[in-house]
Amino acid sequence: MKGNMAGMMKQIQKMQAEMQKTQSELANKTVTAESGGGMVKATCNGQKEIVSLEIDEEIAKSGDKEMMEDLIVAAVNKALEAAGKMAEEELGNVTKGMIPPGLNIPGF
């Protein structure tokens, strides 16, 4: 019994180390989403931080503040959603086989 527990603790420690490494790596991985047919592009890293925002010169010159705001919100939301999926996949690869399906553990 003690051997099983020690082995399980080693696995948990290994998984925690891999999770921390993966979370650090996610800061360097990015996804870009756009709205308005590419008029606004938002880039987000795997830690759900917006790292850049591009606004097409034509929309900026148009003076249509409301449309520009809507396009920015749409692009940012799409980028955040994509970053969340990317992080979920990356972290899921670390925990695959370690956490039983359906078990809800915060942070996993």
Alpha carbon distance 9, 104 (integer Å): 19
Question: Which residues lie closer than 8 Å to 64 by C-beta, 6 or more apart?
Answer: none
Q: What average pLDDT does the segment 93-105 reach?
A: 62
13-55 confidence digits (pLDDT tens): 887 888 788 777 888 899 999 999 999 999 999 889 999 999 9
Give how far the C-alpha of residue 9 lies from the chain's centroid of Cα atoms, to the nearest Å.
28
- Inter-residue contact 98 to 11 (CB < 8 Å): yes
**87 vs 74, more confident:** 74
Count of CB atoms situated within 10 Å of the CB of 24: 11
- Of 79, 88, 3, residue with least CA distance to 45: 79
**12 vs 78, more confident:** 78
Beta bridge partners of 11: none
Q: Is the pLDDT of residue 104 over 60?
A: no
SS3 73: helix
Q: Does domain 29-95 have CATH number 3.40.50.2300?
A: no
57-68 confidence digits (pLDDT tens): 998 899 899 999
- Predicted confidence at residue 1, as pLDDT, reads 57
**Whole-prediction pTM:** 0.71
Q: Is the pLDDT of residue 93 over 50?
A: yes
E strands, 30-84, in order: 30-35, 40-45, 50-55
- Predicted confidence at residue 97, as pLDDT, reads 60
